[in-house]
Amino acid sequence: MEKDIEELSMNVLEEHYKLKKRISVLEEELMMDGDISFRKNPINEIIKNQVISLHKQGVNVDQITKQSTLSKQEVLSVIKDS
Protein backbone atom coordinates (compact mmCIF):
# COMPACT_ATOMS: atom_id res chain seq x y z
CA MET A 1 0.00 0.00 0.00
CA GLU A 2 2.84 2.43 0.88
CA LYS A 3 4.54 1.67 -2.43
CA ASP A 4 1.32 2.43 -4.31
CA ILE A 5 0.90 5.74 -2.49
CA GLU A 6 4.53 6.64 -3.16
CA GLU A 7 4.13 5.80 -6.84
CA LEU A 8 0.92 7.83 -7.07
CA SER A 9 2.64 10.76 -5.37
CA MET A 10 5.52 10.63 -7.83
CA ASN A 11 3.07 10.50 -10.75
CA VAL A 12 1.24 13.56 -9.43
CA LEU A 13 4.50 15.47 -9.01
CA GLU A 14 5.60 14.50 -12.51
CA GLU A 15 2.29 15.62 -14.02
CA HIS A 16 2.47 18.88 -12.08
CA TYR A 17 5.97 19.50 -13.45
CA LYS A 18 4.86 18.75 -17.01
CA LEU A 19 1.88 21.10 -16.72
CA LYS A 20 4.07 23.85 -15.29
CA LYS A 21 6.48 23.50 -18.20
CA ARG A 22 3.64 23.54 -20.75
CA ILE A 23 2.16 26.68 -19.19
CA SER A 24 5.58 28.31 -19.23
CA VAL A 25 6.00 27.52 -22.94
CA LEU A 26 2.56 28.94 -23.71
CA GLU A 27 3.31 32.10 -21.76
CA GLU A 28 6.59 32.53 -23.62
CA GLU A 29 4.79 32.11 -26.93
CA LEU A 30 2.31 34.79 -25.93
CA MET A 31 5.14 37.14 -25.04
CA MET A 32 6.95 36.41 -28.33
CA ASP A 33 3.82 37.37 -30.23
CA GLY A 34 4.52 40.92 -29.17
CA ASP A 35 2.20 40.99 -26.17
CA ILE A 36 4.41 43.21 -24.04
CA SER A 37 1.50 44.01 -21.73
CA PHE A 38 1.11 40.36 -20.73
CA ARG A 39 1.50 41.09 -17.02
CA LYS A 40 -1.02 43.91 -17.20
CA ASN A 41 -3.65 41.47 -18.41
CA PRO A 42 -5.63 39.46 -15.89
CA ILE A 43 -3.88 36.37 -14.57
CA ASN A 44 -5.02 33.17 -16.28
CA GLU A 45 -7.51 31.15 -14.23
CA ILE A 46 -5.35 28.01 -14.51
CA ILE A 47 -2.43 29.84 -12.93
CA LYS A 48 -4.69 31.29 -10.24
CA ASN A 49 -5.96 27.80 -9.41
CA GLN A 50 -2.39 26.50 -9.26
CA VAL A 51 -1.34 29.28 -6.88
CA ILE A 52 -4.37 28.72 -4.64
CA SER A 53 -3.81 24.97 -4.62
CA LEU A 54 -0.14 25.33 -3.70
CA HIS A 55 -1.02 27.84 -0.97
CA LYS A 56 -3.62 25.44 0.49
CA GLN A 57 -0.94 22.72 0.50
CA GLY A 58 1.19 24.94 2.70
CA VAL A 59 3.72 26.01 0.08
CA ASN A 60 5.14 29.43 1.00
CA VAL A 61 4.77 32.49 -1.23
CA ASP A 62 8.43 32.59 -2.24
CA GLN A 63 8.30 28.99 -3.43
CA ILE A 64 5.03 29.61 -5.31
CA THR A 65 6.69 32.60 -6.99
CA LYS A 66 9.58 30.38 -8.09
CA GLN A 67 7.22 27.69 -9.41
CA SER A 68 5.03 30.10 -11.32
CA THR A 69 5.77 32.91 -13.71
CA LEU A 70 4.13 35.43 -11.40
CA SER A 71 5.76 38.09 -9.29
CA LYS A 72 5.51 37.92 -5.52
CA GLN A 73 2.95 40.76 -5.60
CA GLU A 74 0.81 38.85 -8.11
CA VAL A 75 0.97 35.67 -6.02
CA LEU A 76 -0.05 37.60 -2.91
CA SER A 77 -2.89 39.22 -4.82
CA VAL A 78 -4.21 35.86 -6.06
CA ILE A 79 -4.08 34.42 -2.53
CA LYS A 80 -5.78 37.49 -1.06
CA ASP A 81 -8.57 37.35 -3.64
CA SER A 82 -9.24 33.63 -3.15
pLDDT in tens, 23-64: 988 887 777 655 444 455 678 888 999 999 999 999 999 999
pTM greater than 0.85: no
Classify each residue of 53-81 as buried b or exposed e, where b means 16 or more C-beta atoms within 10 Å of its C-beta. ebbeeeeeeeebbebbbbeeebbbebbee
